[in-house]
Amino acid sequence: MPVYLRPNNLEEALGALQQQPLTVLAGGTDHYPARVGQPLDDDLLDLTNISALRGIEDVGETWRIGALTTWTDIIRTDLPACFDGLKAAAREIGGVQIQNAGTVAGNICNASPAADGVPNLMALDATVELARTGAVRRLPVADFVTGNRTTVLARDEVVTAIYVPKLTDAADSAFLKLGARKYLVISIVMIGIVLVPVDGVVGEARIAVGACAPVSRRLRALEEALTGRRLDAVLGEAVDMTPLAGVLSPIDDMRGSATYRLDAAIAMLRRGLNILGSRMGELP
Amino acid sequence: MNIATSQVTLTVNGLTTELRSPPATRLAHALRDEHGLTGTKVGCDAGDCGACTVLIDGEQLCACMVSVAQAAGRNVVTVEGLAKNGDLSDLQAAFLRHGAAQCGICTPGMLMAAHDLLGKRGSPSEQEVADALGGVLCRCTGYRKIIDAILDVGGSRRGDEPEIGKAVGSRVGRLDGAPKVTGDDVFGADFAPPGALTLRVIRAPVASGRFRIGDLGAFKAAHPGISAVYTADDIPGHNAFGVYPTGKDQPVLADGLIRYRGEALVAVVGHPGAVAALRDDDLPLHFEQTTPVIGISQAAANGATLVHADRPGNILAEGRLVKGDTAAGFAMADHVAEGAWQTSFVEHAYIEPEAGWAERVGDRIEIHVTTQSPYMDRDEVAHVLGMEKEQIRIVPTACGGGFGGKLDLSVQPLIALAARDLGVPVRCAYTRPESMASSTKRHPAAIRARAGCCADGKLLAFEFHGDFDTGAYASWGPTVADRVPVHATGPYVVSNVKNTSCALLTNAPPSGAFRGFGVPQSAIANEALMDDLAEMCGIDPLDFRLINALRKGDETSSGQRLEYSAGLAECLEALRSAWDTEREEAGRFNAAAGDVRRGVGIAGMWYGCGNTSMSNPSTITIGISAEGQVTLYNGAMDMGQGPNTIMPQIAADALGVPFGRFNVVAGDTDRTADAGKSSASRQTFVSGKAAQRAGENLRTKILRLANVGPNAVLEIDHGKIVVHDGEAERTLDLTAMAADAEGDVLTGKGTFDPPTKPLDDNGQGVPYATYGFGAHLAVADIDMVLGNVKIRRIVAAHDVGRAINPTFLEGQIHGGIAQGLGLALMEEYIPGRTENLHDYLIPTFGDVPPIDVILVEDPEPLGPYGAKGIGEQALIPTAPAIFNAVRHATGVRLHHAPATPCRVRDAILAARKSNHV
């Protein structure tokens, strides 16, 4: 009979990982679908009884999103506008059942190129906290996910939290997703944007695109090009997007060709920027 | 360390409950297997369909992704917890009132998600309903009636049941509806006798090749819970099945040769736990892969590998219809339009995977199974097992959606073989990937067609050739080859026609029956040409179709003169007001030049009811017991479309008793007469007529016994029938009459076989006794940059002859439209790639727009009270209307279904390049 461990504190969980290799289970929304029609014989470490790992906390300079925080928790928590994009992503992940079970941390650990949570986490400059017995490390989301379904997570580590540095209240954000149907759809392309305004112009832009490379990508050159631009309804038209072709490396698959994905990403970036530019430009 | 034990305590529907399954077990399975709470359905085990939705601590979750250990101490509510003391909740009642449950397999999930929503929002908006239920898939209803039901939870109860003689035409609820909303309905995977063994099929992982079976003795020795492993050598009768007597080419278990990925190779039977613990790799199977024949062009290529050695050119079947002289017709034409189109494999995606159980009873085998065709199942299993037909009994379970995919055998022969061999009950339920990989599909089509007309719009000539990828085995390929030439001209009068078709064998899943048998594909081509010609003539597309519409007195392309019931023109006229206002509105919308353009498209449809030029009789019987219970023995399988209610509605009026007196026995081959298959849009028309005749037959017997006139009124009471004829009153004492095996003392029987005539070598004849006609209008918004197509509204007008139950008709039309929308925009089955419900997309709550249904009644004298079929008709004009709407919006003609965002965008760019836009 396979092992099924369900500790109620982190120390025990980490201790167990020191003892033997275990598959970590949280929301189950990736674990179970990967095992349809197969024996459920993994040795499991179920983290869901560790209540300290769930919830969103204001911890001074950052927000701490506990590893068991679900997408529904994100939607329901009162957070500043820089989280609106992440909330929008949360509402487009699966259906309500998935949002109620699936965790933010699980989304990055699963490391799908089409993980809807990742672009906005990247745009929020989120970092991931990894713990093993006696050691904690933190690294940016972009460094945590290394490829299609791969991360730096070691065998004896678990993700314990995601940290999001605070921004001014004037910062705003957006998420746009392209799929072939309304609900329960894997993204063809998605974009996440966070803009920090300064005196009616873009003070800081942080932009990421998903499903156009093995891992969602921050678009540094575009961010720089946007800095200082006027916040208005044509913000997205103000910059040259052609260099993106050199940054993104989408694939051809049944959901769309590489060319299409690239074109769609550019169109969605323009739209997202126009929406935010319009919204933020109207502010007093 | 807190190690979860295999005993977990939780609250289920208010009761403290224990679960003893291993802690990683999916909660859905534990609830079903340990506590018989089978209202929680298993549709995918992957969170893709939502059929297993339950509430845990007040929040909706998929019970297939919650471990038993995680449920410890929590409060779980399943569908069985909604009704209180036997009274349906307002939500459940609203579902029944609105016809929101068809087959019922998704209904528990829908109800639980709605229950979650209503607990949080008293009066939700339509958008909130869609958002809250968006995680549950339905393949029958098109979601609209589910939305209606939830928005009307506080609404009034259904009115009184119809009075005598008024059942036909009334919106009575499903006779079999209550169990569908309480979770009590028993589907294929919901029951097996205690001690039943589980059967699992090991399937081909490659599309073509050979396989060798190693040492099964050693395998069994190493797996003590496994009772048997069956191979091709163990099939006692014929290791071949197929729906056509001449097309039995599919082995129950492959004999060394693999013709498609998903093909059944061996069957393993054992204790449920032992079978669940197996991996496919545990079996000693050795594969040798060969290069598969993929797609129509490879199959048709010179020197192509033959999928079946006895099918030269990989040709399974060909169809041909020739009328007049197309060369002469095109020579006279002022305008000629032509084009090429292609479509993809489409999966039925019923939310209930194939499932059932079998047991040996004496020298017979009884099979309880989800099916659309109990009698055909019986005959096929007998053939496979080498038994007499009478030795096989098929007892259909509730059928969680079929759409053509449950006409062919699935679990039946294997569970029957194992139950007979082992002497214990044996069950099998396919997993979702297994269902998708192994079952039949809609044929992909490659079509070339052209049409010519006069300057005044009158069609002169039409030519069509469709190649259809029929996959690895015959299945219903010949039907597609037959039906397409008959229908390909569309519902229009054309004197010079040449339509041909060819079904080609490939190393893909067998293409079979799927709502429309090739006609939805051919209609895409035909209706595109109608729009092309209308544009060339400068005639409004609706008017163009009216100019050419088949009407009473006209001759079809197969030379059949339509004498009755041809209401296409009325359907088109019924769309005119929406057509005018929507086209005007689209013009206004498009004047504000944005990224999104709006278009309005239209398409006509016709479709023959019943089998093509073949006898397809139905027999229905009705009995009255000594107690006065009226029972209709219904062999017309209800897979959600409604025969369990429609047959009694018809019979009630024919017999002259209230609808509410009826009880139904559904589709047991020992208890019901053969009413054929639930396919070809034939049950209302054919079995309905049989039900009418059965009712009339029984009424005649009663009137004769009572010696009264034809207008007498029957009053069935406990133990007697009181017959009122004017002043006279006679009483028949039922208790004094001899009862038959069913306990009935009076019985009536009716049979109907729709009259057809064979088609000659040119496809001329009378292929169908009657046709459904209809037309759809679609309003679509197209994102010119991203290529997304969003359908805003559909208006559907159908000539149904006579509306037996308007609610059911609307339900069929909504569901057909949802499937047509999926065919048009998103559905594409790719073996090995889209074998689940997250890579294979079917429409969700947010994809099916508001639908206006207009029922036209041009009575068909052969049909019951004038009625004819709707099941397939409802799907056919949807994709063409959508494609024509895209064309209206963008000027771009779509030639490839599904028109995914990428394909639409590519078509827009290609058109721009050639300066067409």
Lowest mean pLDDT among A247-251, A265-269, A276-280, B365-369: A247-251
Question: B694: which DSSP letter?
Answer: H
Mean pLDDT in consecutive groups of 10 residues from the start of chain B, 917 residues? 72 97 97 98 98 98 98 98 95 97 98 98 96 98 98 79 94 96 98 97 98 98 97 98 92 98 98 97 98 98 97 98 98 98 98 98 98 98 98 98 98 98 98 98 98 98 98 96 97 98 98 97 98 98 98 98 98 98 98 94 98 97 97 98 98 97 96 96 98 98 96 96 95 97 98 98 98 98 98 98 98 98 98 97 98 98 98 98 98 97 97 76
* Residue B197 DSSP symbol: E
Of B151, B180, B209, the domain-final residue:
B180
| CB-CB contact of B576 with B773 (8 Å) | no
- The reply to whether B578 and B499 lie within a common domain is yes
- pLDDT for B157 equals 65
CA distance A117 to A67: 13
Q: Are residues B815 and B884 in the same domain?
A: yes
* CA pair distance B705, B701, nearest whole angstrom: 6
Helix axes B901-913, A258-281, angle to 10 degrees: 100
Residues of chain A positioned with their CB less than 8 A from the CB of B432: 36
DSSP state string for A83-127: GHHHHHHHHTSS-HHHHHH-BHHHHHHHT-TT-TTHHHHHHTT-E
- pLDDT of B5 reads 60
Q: How distant is the Cα of B235 from the closest Cα of chain A, in angstroms?
A: 25
**Contact present, A233 and A281 (Cβ < 8 Å):** yes
Looking at the structure, do residues B220 and B172 belong to the same domain, yes or no?
A: no
Q: Across the strands, what pairs with B749? A: B621
- Sequential DSSP letters for A11-50: HHHHHHHHHS--EEESS-TTTTGGGTTS-----EEE-TT-
Domain boundary among B705, B731, B752: B752
Please give the tally of structural domains in chain B: 4
CATH for B733: 3.30.365.10
Cβ–Cβ contact B907 with A under 8 A: no
B619's tokens: 């027999």
Q: How many other C-beta atoms can be found within 10 angstroms of the C-beta atom of residue B186?
A: 12
Contact B838 A186 (CB under 8 A): yes
In-domain check, residue B75: no
Say yes or no: B552 and B690 in one domain. no
Could you report the per-residue pLDDT of B278-291, keeping only the tens digit for each? 999 999 999 999 99
Contacts of B201 (CB under 8 A, 6+ apart): B264, B265, B266, B267, B268, B414, B428, B430, B434, B438
Residues B721 and B854 in one domain: no
**Are A6 and B69 within 8 A, CB to CB?**
yes
Q: Is residue B71 domain-resident?
A: no
Q: Which whole-number Å values give the CA distances from B320 to B30, B760, B806, in the listed order? A: 54, 10, 37
Main-chain dihedrals φ then ψ at residue A176, nearest 5 degrees = -125, 140
pLDDT at B600: 98
A37/B433 CB distance under 8 A = yes
* Residue B65 located in a structural domain: no
Among A41-50, A196-205, A244-253, B142-151, the least confident range: A244-253
DSSP letters for B808-822: HHHHHHHHHHHHHHH
The Cα-based distances of B217 to B28, B253, B283, B284 in angstroms read 35, 19, 11, 10
Q: Does residue B287 sit in the same domain as residue B202?
A: yes
pLDDT for A283 equals 58
Rounded Cα–Cα distance for residues A95 and B61 (Å): 10
Query: Does B62 map to a domain?
Result: no
The verdict on residue B506 lying in a domain is: yes
**Among the three residues B727, B752, B777, which one is the final residue of a domain in this structure?**
B752
pLDDT at B156: 77
Residues near B415 by beta carbon (within 8 Å), at least 6 away in sequence: B199, B356, B357, B358, B367, B369, B426, B427, B428
CATH class entry, domain A172-281: alpha beta
pLDDT of residue B159: 62
Its domain, for residue B685, covers 618-752
Domain boundaries, chain A: 4-41+56-165, 172-281
Asked if residues B346 and B834 have their Cβ atoms less than 8 Å apart, the reply is no
Q: Is B272 on the interface with A (CB under 8 A)?
A: no
Nearest to residue B842, comparing CAs of B771, B777, B782, B898? B898
CATH topology of domain A4-41+56-165: 3.30.465
Q: Is residue B314 situated within a structural domain?
A: no
Q: Do A256 and B900 touch (CB under 8 A)?
A: yes
Per-residue tokens: A69: 């925080």
Contact B651, B692 (CB under 8 A): yes
Q: How far is CA B230 from CA A66, B223, B385, B387, B418, in A?
A: 51, 15, 13, 18, 8
From the CB of residue B495, how many other CB atoms can be counted at a distance below 10 Å? 17
Alpha helix stretches (DSSP H) within B239-370: 272-276, 295-300, 326-332
SS3 B773: strand
Which of A9, A29, A97 is the best mutation test for B, with the most CBs of B within 10 A? A97
pTM value > 0.80: yes
Length of chain A equals: 284
Name the strands in the sheet holding B75-77, side by side, starting at the edge strand that comes first in the sequence: B15-19, B8-12, B75-77, B53-56, B59-62
Domain at B172, CATH number: 1.10.150.120
Query: Given its phi and psi angles, is residue A230 left (phi above 0), alpha (psi -120 to 50 degrees) or beta?
Result: beta
B601 and B637 part of one domain: no
Query: What does the alpha-carbon distance between residue B531 and residue B537 come to, in Å, rounded to a whole number?
Result: 10
Provide the pLDDT for residue B245: 85
CB nearest to A32's CB, from B26, B134, B846: B26
Least CA distance to A49: which residue of chain B? Answer: B70
Residues B519 and B639 in one domain: no
DSSP string, B533-562: HHHHHT--HHHHHHHHB--TT-B-TTS-B-
Burial (CB < 10 A; 0-12, 13-18, 19+), residue B127, is exposed
* One domain for residues B764 and B883: yes
- Please tell me whether residues B781 and B863 are part of one structural domain: yes
Q: CA nearest B899 in A: which residue? A: A180
Distance CA(A149)–CA(A153), nearest Å, equals 11
* Pairwise CB contact (< 8 Å): A29 & B65: yes
